[in-house]
């Protein structure tokens, strides 16, 4: 039995689908439905159990010895949230309780960290899990800080020789795109945001650059297909000897113009792109470049190639967004 918290969310529901495709375990989903659309993310899944977050530890305690791993994807992921207490409860205290439960009952624990922990990128994007390296990172928002805080708690416990789960892994997800993100609203990927405009044949609007080293639309991100994220999680579940903090990106930064071109190409349309000023309230904190260093993941034994931007966007557009059923 594998428990996926946040299993009706974006990355979580894709992990659940990948586990179902693998077909060798009972799948349990824990989540909350803020809106009805989120339910569609798991409407096709064959689940052994489903319950809300308030029943999580009651369920866990009632199934001791049956649970192989907890894949913890639940979090408040909005980068604009300002409620510190809420963020601490959801993104620090809850995963810490799960860590302790997994330690007590010899259960494996995989959790979602974030590339937001790297802040403005001046310290690079290397998943160095030393306490000294982690202390230099300065996230730019409350969400990134909460993920970074939990990473540091984990690595401090490991450094202190405290008891820990038999396997643990934190995944620093970069810019993930793919099906089942409709419920995220403003936090959806750029692919999802610009798709309706591109399909209608209208002009897609991207942010202008306010940095002399980057042209308009030349701002760069490490865009990763959500199926690749699920593959990394399944690989970790197959390799219980692998633990650590790992970047989950492709290792290749691409521009927003590349992304928009890929959407138009998937629709077999000529690109139409205009540029608008980056809003002043985020202009000073805007990142112009992110690229995951995936060498630690490769050294740990993960050999599967990551999906190219063009192939991932084409799959997303043609298999999901441009159909009557956009849900995986």
Distance CA 41, CA 130 (A): 37
Whether 184 is a known active-site residue: answer yes
293 class by beta-carbon count within 10 Å (0-12 exposed, 13-18 middle, 19+ buried): middle
Whether 105 is a known active-site residue: answer no
Q: Which of 138, 184, 252, 272 is catalytic?
A: 184
Distance CA 294, CA 144 (A): 20
Taking each helix axis from N to C terminus, what angle separates 94-104 and 142-159, rounded to the nearest 10 degrees? 30
Three-state DSSP string of 118-129: HCCCCCCCCCCC
Distance CA 223, CA 254 (A): 7
8 Å CB contact between 276 and 205: yes
Q: Is the dihedral of CA 212, 213, 216, 220 positive or negative?
A: negative
Q: Which of 111, 118, 143, 177 is catalytic?
A: 143
CA distances from 194 to 175, 202, 259, 272 (A): 15, 10, 10, 11
Active site residues: 143, 184
């Amino acid at each position: 039995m594998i428990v996926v918290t946040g299993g009706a969310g974006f990355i979580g529901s894709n992990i659940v689908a990948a586990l179902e495709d693998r077909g060798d375990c009972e799948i349990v989903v824990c989540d909350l439905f803020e809106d009805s659309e989120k339910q569609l993310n798991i409407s096709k899944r064959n689940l052994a159990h489903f319950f809300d977050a308030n029943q999580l530890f009651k369920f866990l305690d009632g199934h001791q010895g049956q649970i192989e791993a907890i894949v913890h994807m639940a979090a408040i992921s909005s980068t604009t949230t300002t409620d510190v207490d809420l963020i601490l409860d959801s993104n620090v205290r809850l995963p810490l309780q799960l860590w302790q439960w997994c330690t007590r009952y010899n259960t494996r624990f995989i959790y979602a960290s974030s590339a937001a922990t790297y802040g403005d990128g001046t310290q690079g994007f290397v998943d160095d899990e030393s306490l000294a390296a982690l202390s230099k990172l300065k996230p730019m928002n409350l969400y990134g800080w909460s993920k970074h805080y939990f990473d540091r708690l984990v690595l401090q416990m490991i450094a202190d020789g405290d008891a820990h789960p038999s396997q643990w892994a934190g995944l620093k997800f970069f810019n993930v795109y793919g099906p089942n993100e409709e419920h995220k609203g403003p936090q959806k990927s750029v692919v999802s945001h610009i798709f309706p405009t591109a399909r209608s044949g209208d002009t897609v609007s991207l942010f202008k650059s306010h940095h002399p080293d980057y042209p308009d639309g030349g701002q760069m991100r490490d865009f990763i297909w959500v199926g690749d994220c699920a593959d990394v999680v399944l690989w970790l579940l197959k390799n219980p000897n692998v633990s650590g903090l790992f970047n989950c990106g492709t290792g290749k930064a691409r521009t927003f113009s590349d992304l928009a071109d890929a959407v138009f190409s998937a629709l077999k349309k000529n690109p139409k792109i205009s540029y608008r000023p980056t809003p002043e309230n985020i202009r000073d904190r805007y990142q112009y470049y992110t690229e995951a260093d995936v060498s630690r993941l490769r050294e740990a034994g993960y050999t599967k190639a990551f999906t190219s931007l063009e192939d991932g966007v084409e799959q997303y557009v043609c298999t999901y967004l441009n159909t009557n059923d956009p849900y995986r």
